[in-house]
Amino acid sequence: MAKQIYKICVVLSLSIISVGVSALPIHWTDWIDNTPTNGFQGNGVITTPTTTVSVTYNNPQGISFYQSSGGGTDYWQNGPGNGGRNPATSPYTSAAVDNIPTGTDIIALTFAGTQTLSFSESIANPVFSYVSLNGNGYAFDQDFEILSFGNASDSNDPGYWGAGTSSKSVVDLGGGNFEYQLLGTGEPHGTIRFTGEFNAVSWRSLSAENWNGFTVGIEGTAIEVNPPGAGPVPAPLTVALLGLGLVSFFYSRRYR
């Protein structure tokens, strides 16, 4: 009987582990319209299960082009010759991101300079996907982690314009201030995730080029991801490993 209980616990623990490492569905921005306010302003919304978040992008330098709700080229598909959209090998999906950016919505940049994304309420750990960041880089005021990019070294197909790698550099500006640079080689296409809760992020395009593009998505708002008053919830993987360890300990003592 003890052996049977042990086997059942092992199976359950492994099942929890498989769930715990599964990617999360991301709610991507639906870019709706734009105005020439202060250079360029793009307006969009993100719809989550409980709310709608307004998203505003402002770039005083102006942009290259803007694709909103439907129409235009799908720059988020896997590189030419790789079967269009394939989430399994997309430069934009990973163990943390389940789905490719929705539709053809994209904001394409061309000028060096600072720009800002603002949200109507605080969001938590948003993701930022980018296209063709060659000959350029972004310097953010928020820390981030690189989740994926389109290159064989990351087990992914190339992006629309080709393959490339992505890297991060942290620059100490002095006075306790830092900037977090997204750099790359070749034709970088990929996804990063910012860490923490905030309602705005600014960054510098480090140089001018023909164009590079982006969009943004969220797992949820800060309240949805980290409900007020709720204590830290142990990750499923942690719970599973702890349970498996306790069962193993009990079993070893039972038959010592």
Q: Is residue 229 assigned to a domain?
A: no
Q: How many domains does the chain have?
A: 2
**Percent of the chain clearing pLDDT 70 (strictly above):** 81
55 and 136 together in one domain: yes
Residue type, 52: T
Residue type, 170: V
2 and 64 together in one domain: no
Residue 5 has pLDDT above 80, yes or no: no
Place 16 in a pLDDT band, splitting at 50, 70 and 90: very low
69 and 150 together in one domain: yes
147 and 243 together in one domain: no
Q: State mean pLDDT over 239-246.
A: 45
Q: State mean pLDDT over 147-161.
A: 97
95 and 9 together in one domain: no
86 and 197 together in one domain: yes
Place 231 in a pLDDT band, splitting at 50, 70 and 90: low
Q: What is the pLDDT, as a whole number, of residue 19? A: 40
Domain that holds residue 246: 1-22+238-256
Compute the distance between CA of residue 107 and CA of residue 64 in angstroms, rounded to an integer: 8
109 and 76 together in one domain: yes
47-76 per-position pLDDT tens digit:
999 999 999 999 999 999 999 987 899 999
Q: State mean pLDDT over 12-35.
A: 71
Compute the distance between CA of residue 52 and CA of residue 178 in angstroms, rounded to an integer: 31
40 and 136 together in one domain: yes
Q: Is residue 65 assigned to a domain?
A: yes
Q: What is the pLDDT, as a whole number, of residue 228? A: 86
Residue among 159, 134, 140, 139 nearest 149 (CA): 159
Q: What is the pLDDT, as a whole number, of residue 159? A: 98
Question: For the residues of 47-63, what is the DSSP string, one character each?
Answer: E-SS-EEEEEEEETT--
At 238, give phi and psi (nearest 5°).
Answer: -65, -45
202-227 per-position pLDDT tens digit:
999 999 999 999 999 999 999 999 99
Q: Is 36 helix (H, G, I), strand (E, B) or coil?
A: coil
Compute the distance between CA of residue 30 and CA of residue 33 in angstroms, rounded to an integer: 10
Query: For residues 72 and 65, is the Cβ–Cβ distance under 8 A?
Result: no
Q: What is the pLDDT, as a whole number, of residue 170? A: 98
176 and 247 together in one domain: no
